[in-house]
Structure formats: C-alpha cells, structure tokens
Amino acid sequence: MKKFLLLVTVFSLGLVAFAQDMSTITFDSLTIDYGTINKGDDGVRQFRFTNTGTAALEITQVRSSCGCTIPKKPETAIAPGASDVIEVKYDTERVGPIRKTITVASNASNPMIALKIKGEVVEPPKKEDTTEK
C-alpha cells in the first residue's frame, strides 16, 4: 500500500509540473529574404514574434553563424500575447550570396529556434560619366 501511495504521489507531482504555465514563441516568418541588394545598402531587418504561451517569455541568447551578421535581442521579458522583434544587421559591404543562421534560445516550450537570412549583395551599377570633354 505504501508503494502504491508513493507511486500516486509521484505521478500527481509529475502532472502538476507538466501543467505549469509555459511560454511559446511564434515567429511571423523563420526566413528573411533580402533579395538582391546593392553593396552598402541598409542591412537591418527584423524577425517579428509573439509570445503565444501563458507565461512570460525571456529570450536568453541570440547567436549568429557569422561575424558579418549582428543580432539584437529584446532585453525585457515579453508578456503572454505581446509581440516584439529580434533585429538582425547584415554587413552589406560584403558582396556575394547571403546564407546565414541566427539561433534563438529562450525559456519557451520550443527553447531553440533557427532563423535564416538569405539574399545576395551586388556591386551597384556604375554611373555613366555625363561630363563633356
């Protein structure tokens, strides 16, 4: 009988722990496509997300796969139902394809999420010399 009561107690505690409030992060999009942009253009973009859970959401870390991409996370907790952004700045002085990953760590039920940026940085078209000789 003691073993049965112990088993029931452990099972009940497990259910209570499982039923606790959870935060859930839901992004509008997991990929940002820069398209084709000129060298030196504005490289700042935003990943918009919402806390669709029932507890405060805290973004604990945001990392980029490369030093050419600088992510910026919210500094305060996001209340249930509230939205915020993770800002990403890509160095558009680098000509070539953009294929980078930003990893977001949080206290959400889905604690690690990979965001992607893609596109291509090209040299701007050269302006024709219109001065007369």
Question: Does 48 or 126 have the greater pLDDT score?
Answer: 48
CB 30 within 8 A of CB 113: yes
Q: How far is it, in rounded angstroms, from Cα 51 to Cα 56? A: 8
Q: pTM of the predicted model, to two decimals?
A: 0.79
> Where are the domains positioned within the chain?
21-122
Q: Report pLDDT for 128.
A: 72
Neighbours of 104 (CB within 10 A): 24
CATH topology of domain 21-122: Immunoglobulin-like (2.60.40)
116 pLDDT more than 80 = yes
Q: Is the pLDDT of residue 25 over 90?
A: yes
